[in-house]
Amino acid sequence: MSRSLLALAAVTLAALLAVLLVQGGGETDGAGQKPGQRLLPELSGRIKDVTLLRIVGPGNATAVTLRRTGDTWSVDERAAYAADAAKLRRLVTDLAGLEVTEAKTSDPALYARLGVEDPALPGAQGLRLEIEGLASPLRVIVGRAAASGGTYLRRDGDPQSVEARPPITVDVDPALWLDRRLVALDGRRVQSVAVTPANGRRYSIERSAASEANFRLVGIPATRQAYNAAAANPQAQALAAFDVDDVRALGASGFPAAAGTLVYRTFDGLVLTIDAAREADKAWLRVSASVDSTLNPPATVRAEADALSRRTGGYAFAIPAYRLDTLIRPLEDFLGP
């Protein structure tokens, strides 16, 4: 056999051995490491017991801390603002349902190929999930996605890595764990919206009864009129499903100089006030809720205002700057020639 053929055979054999080492030897003796077994059996039937989920990234740095207090989940890195509980529940449910499809390497030198090395190591690719509230804390390292559709994982402290399903995806941006729905105000409830742009004329849109299809503009010059009867209607619907991108605590410095204000009033007595400020490519909103006591609002509306006040008090909410331009529009946008 020629030297070139011998060299090629040696390279091929080395590559094959590397693949076999990463793949492991199929079934192992470790509990929960055999194909068909649950990787995290402690979570089965105990999802409601979880009180904390921490996501730890490269350099052993905590990226996200999700914490339960009573029935409410919050994000530590966003001043304990409300978390997306449904998203969290999906992740924990997927973790509880993880089923091993194949045992992989138990050699630490090969962990990096699967992304299941210790996140404390420099250049680590995976994430460590730390779960508390069970009889014992649970830690699992989530590695790369497998080509077959699963995910490479390793229980922290266990040398055996595995491929398991369902696939696990974990966001490391705290903002992506927030409950982003800030307000859901049905436009059919809206009686008026007072608009104060940072620059330009103050105006409002109003209607006398909920049965009226269109809002009329109030505060426009006597020589001008709306370009059509329904021109201002979208403003009343602007908070029907209003999501935000991020949240921060107002802090000691308070809220910056406002770039405009909106005051929504409903027929049943709810009052929502939104102050807006620009900051680079974002707009930040401060939201407060109250009731118009002169309308003698029902208990449900008072409870709604209280809940909104608890949710929004002490926080500022980010939206893209371009959305502010559609939220607080200058009067001229509604007027014809």
What pLDDT tens digit does each residue of the chain (337 aa) get? 455 444 444 444 444 444 444 444 443 444 457 899 999 999 999 999 999 999 999 999 999 999 999 999 999 999 999 999 999 999 999 999 999 999 999 999 999 999 999 999 988 999 999 999 999 999 999 999 999 999 999 999 999 999 999 999 999 999 999 999 999 999 999 999 999 998 889 999 999 999 999 999 999 888 888 888 899 999 999 999 999 999 999 986 678 777 899 999 999 999 999 999 988 889 999 999 999 999 999 999 999 999 999 999 999 999 999 999 889 999 998 888 8
Domain limits at 234?
181-334
- Do 139 and 244 lie in one domain? The reply is no
pLDDT of residue 29: 41
- Do 172 and 195 lie in one domain? The reply is no
pLDDT of residue 257: 72
pLDDT of residue 5: 42
- Do 240 and 323 lie in one domain? The reply is yes
> Within a domain: residue 6?
no
Q: Where is the domain boundary, 177, 202, 219?
A: 177
pLDDT of residue 146: 96
- Do 221 and 327 lie in one domain? The reply is yes
Q: Where is the domain boundary, 177, 200, 226?
A: 177
pLDDT of residue 227: 87
**Structurally, how many domains does the chain consist of?**
2
CA 192 to chain centroid, in Å, comes to 31
pLDDT of residue 271: 98
pLDDT of residue 21: 41
Starting at the earlier edge strand, list the strands of the sheet with 315-320: 216-218, 203-206, 190-197, 260-266, 270-279, 282-291, 315-320, 246-249
Contact 241, 181 (CB under 8 A): yes
- Do 203 and 283 lie in one domain? The reply is yes
Contact 138, 130 (CB under 8 A): yes
- Do 173 and 205 lie in one domain? The reply is no
Contact 104, 113 (CB under 8 A): no
Q: What are phi and psi of 336, to 5 degrees?
A: -80, 180
Q: Where is the domain boundary, 158, 177, 196?
A: 177
CB-based burial of residue 278 (10 Å sphere; 0-12 exposed, 13-18 middle, 19+ buried)? middle
> Within a domain: residue 8?
no
| Residue carrying structure tokens 């929504």 | 264
Distance CA 131, CA 117 (A): 19
- Do 71 and 93 lie in one domain? The reply is yes
Distance CA 281, CA 318 (A): 10
DSSP three-state, residue 228? coil
DSSP three-state, residue 135? coil
pLDDT of residue 199: 85
